[in-house]
Chain A
Amino acid sequence: MTENDKDIIETEPQPEAPKKKHNRFVQYFINLGARIKGWFVDKFLTVKDFFSGLFRKKPKDEFAYDGPQLSKGEKFRRGLKAQSGWLFVAPALILMAVFTFYPIVAAFVNSFKQGYSSTTGAFNGWGFDNFVRVLKGDTGTGGANFVQCLVNTLILTFISVPLSTLLALLISVGLNSIKRVQKAYQTILFLPYLTNALAMGAVFATFFKIIGTKSYTETVGMVNIVLGWFGIDPVDWVGATSPHWQIGSLSIPWAKYIVATIYEVWSGLPFKILILFSAMQSINKQYYDAAKVDGASRWTVLWKITAPMIMPQISYLLVTGIMGGMKQYSAIVGLFGETMGQAYDMGTMVGYLYNYIELGQMGYAFAGSLMLFVIIMIITFINNKVTKKRTTYR
């Protein structure tokens, strides 16, 4: 645009020589007026050209050389058209500005506001107060405890992700080695993918649930019955009396961890099987034929050919699994209810955020979300390092 303006000014026609010589002051205004008029005339022509260009039937050959006789309006139209990509991305950009870019800034800014009230926007000073309180568990709201949530999230993630990846690997190897009804197995094994975590969490809870009072038990639940066959006493897996270890102020509800891990493995398997199995299918059969000729055993083939070939997929699964695990939340609510166990003892980091948003304690929610962000960044960083190493090793 500015270039355009300059262009106009330079090529502006000289005003005709005046019949009567005015003094400098008047002359200045006459010149100015002429220039302004010229500018408007020019713009008008441009706009006229622009619109007539819009409605003109398009020439068949867009790429024909139009030459220097292009009118200014046409030039402008072309210039604008070259930027019309912005028009296409505008809706996405506007939405992202409001719901993605702004929140990032707001989260950073607001997390440093002490005693921030979301209803009035009032706060009393800047500082790290929110972060300190969140880390110390000193929010004074009876809400979830950040350290507890962090520990829960880390433990659950780093148990369930490797476990389900290993199991998925075994299943994929099994699937890969059979010839009949492969598709049927694949379909059934994929079913848990398309589920609602809250709904299926509730189903899992019924497997583990003890129904009744302390004095009279109606049923100890399916899992306890099965364990009973092996002489194991019933355990309250998901209820209020669920056993836990206490380490300082930290609670380790191991029974609930087991339940959550079983659910996470069950729901995490399908995607992992899908990835690993299709990776195995795409390994060139020549490798196997060659191995067969060499008389390599199945075990050797698995470790020497299959495993290295699918190493990128395995590390991809570990990375995405850990990322997903750090954000787990709805399954926990499905299994243990909206308070995430007893007084949030099964809380996760995402659960922590939502808990404080619901309590209206936005300052802590912002501080917590920033810390979640930092932790995820650290894990991404470590992941990248490790993955790189693995790939080079391969």
Chain B
Amino acid sequence: MSLKYGVMGLLAEEPLHGYEVKNRFEAMLGGTWEVNIGQIYTTLQRLERDGLVRPMGARGDRGKLLYELSPDGKKALDEWLAQPDSGPQQLHEDIYVKLLLATRLANGDLAQLLGRQKRAYLQRLRDLNRLEERARRDGRIDLARLVRGALLHTEADLKWVDELTADAHGGKTE
């Protein structure tokens, strides 16, 4: 995920100053990605250097300085939006490495690991369900869609753990 394009996307709606970018960015993501104001200013400076955004008006108090998207920025943003995410699959969680190690190490207890992980995934599903419900109730359809994505990912993770568990039992899966 790219903060750079997130910032450009918000500026495509209307010119904003740094704090507005930070607040709107965090609100858009429902608090699932917190950024500090320093990151926002660094990003804006890089974008300005590359000609993708430009400051409006005189450069005084930098907190008050409004930025707008340049025509080059608009073009770069459109290209990015049109591009599918086709890079390698991202597996960030520790469980993947834990699984490999538990399989290799003589004292790695795979069944216990899988059991605990299953509970964690079930709890996450429950939390995500409640979050999705709340987002819909609040009229945040965009956020509900993000949560739905997380929900389906967690469902897949759970199926994976179930498969491994059935494997370990020498049984079969659906």
Answer yes or no: do A and B interact.
Answer: no
